[in-house]
Structure 1
Amino acid sequence: MTQIENALKTETRRSPDTVTRTFRIDRDVDRKMEGLSSEGRVSMNQMANKALRRYVEWEVNAEKFGTVTTSASTIRKFFDYLTIEQAKEMGSWWGENQAPGIITFWFKKFDFDSVLKALEFLGAQYGRAFTSDYAFDGRSHTLIVKHDMGLKASVFYAEAVKAAFSHLGLGTDIFVTDDQVIAISPPDPAHPLNRSYEGAADLKYPTSATSRPIPKLRRGQRADTENRED
């Protein structure tokens, strides 16, 4: 084992939000950290802090919830085997039954801010299944979930977002494409995506509990054509 004192020594301009600690780590871990530090041109301190933050913010709770790690290609293949309706049902189930419990356990509350924080955790920060962007213009909240899993994944995420926002008592307009979901709350008829001449009318996702997802239509395809899965 070896100490990483050099990496954790007090810096001249130390932030009041940090503390200095000395750890002993396995020698092989130290060698790997040195290699990564050299390759990535980051300090040992940065790597150690990032690893510890991931452990306390993600790994501990993920283990309690039985979270498993899998590749993006595996998730994409999983969605390929689902029908649109199955993706819808899974998203609704997850948003109604899983999301509130997980978010409340993680952040000790279930509100709009904790939902946004959960999206950061499940997205780019730790889970890496998607990325998310959020903006507030003083009137409407706009949430964008981006991924590369196809339309069925968009349907899954749309249903999950719809269910989560419903738990919060928030009305929401949702728009879907093959690689993203856009949620606007409260619904805003004046929003550009709600203007038919903007060409986004066919992207609007049904928000009533009984309506079906809108299939993407190919040029020349009738709107009442059944969306068949091979």
Structure 2
Amino acid sequence: MPPSLPATPEPGVRSLQRAIDVLALFDERHPTRTVRDVVDGTGLPKTTAVRLLATLEGRGLVSRVAETTYSCGPALLRWVRLAEQMWQVSPAARAEMRGLVDRCGETVNVYVRQGLDRVCVAQEEGTATVRSVVPVGVPLPLGRGATAKVLLAGAPPGLLDELAGGDPGLDPAARAALVREVDAVRSGGWAVSHGERELGASAVAAPLAGADGRVLAALSVSGPTSRFTDERVPGYVEAVRAAAQAISRVGLGPVGAFL
């Protein structure tokens, strides 16, 4: 039996967690961060934040762009390229995604489950001026949205209970409703959601299966709820399921090795 983990992280692990928390503050909307941003965003004392930034700068993981302002460093580029190489979908899968955009006009995403989160690993933007776009690689809630239900339909037994315990938004009634919806996905092979993760956004999703029949990922089209009408949704369902079956046949590509 493996030894139990310590109640509090060891100093080295705690330092690593803090460094990751600092790096997580940088994103497309916040390409630079000041020392004050890091203090406010992590809750760390200023002296600790300054030491962490200095260590990260020394390793090339952040770079100073002004006296107290930092951005991501060049050392991250090799990990970015490696992640893109390993987590990309196959050209054939990408072609099916683009075909789905042409058919529906909406943004197409491939999501995978990572623990109690779902992460978009591939995206083809829709053609409409107003469209739904999610950040690739950023964890999103697993308890909300059409793709979440598809991924939960293929998740191990007991994960719903674990999810409910870690999501304060899932009260007993919400959890019961989610269980019913996940069961419906297992029998019907698709899911639809309106405004569950973000007000005004809707999605239709279907499972991407491996050769053994396991649900590896979820394929979705998403866009403004105003376009996901009762008249249009059945066509979206048909198109998404057809594309999902085609991608399941040709394979997801390198990303499949992690699923």
TM interval, short-chain normalised: under 0.3
Greater Rg over alpha carbons, structure: 1
TM-score computed with the length of structure 2 as normaliser: 0.25
TM-score computed with the length of structure 1 as normaliser: 0.27
